[in-house]
């Protein structure tokens, strides 16, 4: 009995060591700028890794005498790094986008709705009910194929301004607005048949530049070069924009990643989630394990009334809804000043773009 207990204890200790080593290695990998999918996936579950490291720190300190103090110290250092990266998306951090109040005119306030429907999800009724309940002014729906386009028509026909491009490859996109739009188009910014929406909306007499995006995710056989290129291309398109800006979409990236932060600085945008929470949207059926893949970024001209992640309606994502107020003079006075890209950031952007273009050229040449 005593021998069996000793064996079980040794197995348990080695399991703690292996798990700790994996999480430490993943944390170190995520601190690099390499774009390989098996490295970049460590960007996503930072909160879960942080919690797991705290648990492992206590367990190794209590039960693994041979690795004390080095393994607990390594876990503490990596947990501190993870906490540093996710802290801005906690309620303990200061907000970037101030809260709206009664002084904001109703005419300048709008509800935006972003939802990846999951192409293979055929629970159309649940999605339609969700849209009818929320009554958004602006909708961006991704992974919409022809069947989804047909199913959504009863609710989308109420929107006078539309851009639709349903596709069978999980990158279809549908955009609907109650506000008039001009200079509107659906374009492939990176890969073919991976559309992005761009338009200028007229909201309470003010022109607002809008982008809706859904790049490819990191996964086996697909690194992050295309995703990063598309995000940063949108950032560059907005770099000199002086009008109010609104960007929605499933970025297939988390808000605390290097690329999302680089996009945000290049486009000079603010994140309404900072200081309020992560607003995790994926995976929808395991919200305790979820991370924020669906995003709303705004320029300094907006204030935030409310932001919510909605219930599960059969997709692998949950919809995210934001109530925003376009109030430029007051917003600029109370919001943070958007951080601008510095020389190092611009060099990183250029390197990412150049690497992607060269890789595409080599692939086209058959190399």
Do 304 and 187 share a structural domain?
A: yes
Q: What is the pLDDT of residues 88-100, one digit of tens each?
A: 999 999 999 999 9
Q: What is the pLDDT of residues 213-223, one digit of tens each?
A: 999 998 887 88
Tell me the CA distances in angstroms from 339 to 177, 279, 297, 299, one per residue in order.
29, 22, 13, 11
DSSP-based three-state secondary structure for 294: strand
How many structural domains compose the chain?
A: 2
Do residues 47 and 278 lie in contact, with contact meaning Cβ atoms separated by under 8 Å?
yes
Q: 363 lies in a domain?
A: no
Average pLDDT over residues 73-89: 96
Do 227 and 114 share a structural domain?
A: yes
CATH code for the domain in which residue 119 is found = 3.60.10.10
pLDDT at 39 over 80: yes
Q: pLDDT confidence of 307, banded at 50, 70, 90?
A: very high
Do 327 and 224 share a structural domain?
A: yes
Q: What is the pLDDT of residues 246-274, one digit of tens each?
A: 999 999 999 999 999 999 999 999 999 99
Measured CA to CA, the distance from residue 184 to residue 208 in angstroms comes to: 12
Do 131 and 236 share a structural domain?
A: yes
Q: Is 14 or 64 the better-scoring residue by pLDDT?
A: 14
Q: 101 lies in a domain?
A: no
Q: What are phi and psi of 237, to 5 degrees?
A: -65, -25
14: domain range? 2-89
pLDDT at 1 over 60: no
Please, which residues bridge with residue 199 across strands?
Answer: 210
Q: pLDDT confidence of 12, banded at 50, 70, 90?
A: confident
Q: 183 lies in a domain?
A: yes
Do residues 174 and 156 lie in contact, with contact meaning Cβ atoms separated by under 8 Å?
yes
Among 11, 50, 15, smallest CA distance to 30 is for 50
Do 115 and 68 share a structural domain?
A: no
Q: Is 54 or 220 the better-scoring residue by pLDDT?
A: 54
Q: What is the pLDDT of residue 257?
A: 94
Helix segments in the chain, DSSP class H: 2-30, 37-40, 46-63, 70-86, 124-134, 146-156, 225-238, 258-267, 328-334, 343-364
Do 130 and 26 share a structural domain?
A: no
Do 137 and 282 share a structural domain?
A: yes
């Amino acid at each position: 009995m005593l021998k069996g207990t000793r064996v079980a204890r040794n197995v348990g200790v080695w399991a703690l060591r292996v798990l700790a080593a994996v999480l430490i290695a993943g944390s170190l990998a995520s601190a690099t700028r390499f774009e390989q999918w098996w490295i970049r996936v460590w960007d996503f579950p930072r909160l879960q890794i942080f919690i797991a490291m705290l648990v492992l720190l206590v367990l190794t300190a209590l039960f693994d005498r041979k690795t004390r103090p080095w393994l607990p110290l390594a876990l503490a250092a990596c947990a501190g790094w993870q906490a540093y990266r996710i802290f801005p998306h906690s309620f303990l951090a200061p907000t970037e986008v101030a809260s709206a109040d009664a002084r904001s005119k109703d005419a300048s306030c709008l509800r935006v709705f972003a939802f990846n429907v999951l192409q293979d999800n055929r629970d159309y009724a649940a999605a339609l009910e969700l849209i009818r309940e929320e009554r958004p002014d602006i909708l961006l729906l991704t992974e919409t194929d022809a069947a989804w386009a047909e199913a959504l028509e009863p609710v989308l026909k109420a929107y006078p301004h539309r851009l639709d491009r349903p596709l069978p490859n999980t990158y279809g996109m549908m955009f609907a607005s109650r506000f008039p739009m001009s200079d509107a188009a659906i374009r492939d910014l990176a890969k073919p048949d991976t559309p992005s929406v761009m338009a200028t909306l007229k909201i309470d007499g003010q022109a607002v530049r809008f982008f809706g995006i859904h790049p490819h995710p990191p996964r086996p056989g697909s690194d992050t070069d295309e995703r990063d290129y598309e995000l940063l291309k949108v950032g560059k398109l907005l770099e000199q924009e002086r009008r109010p800006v609104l960007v929605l979409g499933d970025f297939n990236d988390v808000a605390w990643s290097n690329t999302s932060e680089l996009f945000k600085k290049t486009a000079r945008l603010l994140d309404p989630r900072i200081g309020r929470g992560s607003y995790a949207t994926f995976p929808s059926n395991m919200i305790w394990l979820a991370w924020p893949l669906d995003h709303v970024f705004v320029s300094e001209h907006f204030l935030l009334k409310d932001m919510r992640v909605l219930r599960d309606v059969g997709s692998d994502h949950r919809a995210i809804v934001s109530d925003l107020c376009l109030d430029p003079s007051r917003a600029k006075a109370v919001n943070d000043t958007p951080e601008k890209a510095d020389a190092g950031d611009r060099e990183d952007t250029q390197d990412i773009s150049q690497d992607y273009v060269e890789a595409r050229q080599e692939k086209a040449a058959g190399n």
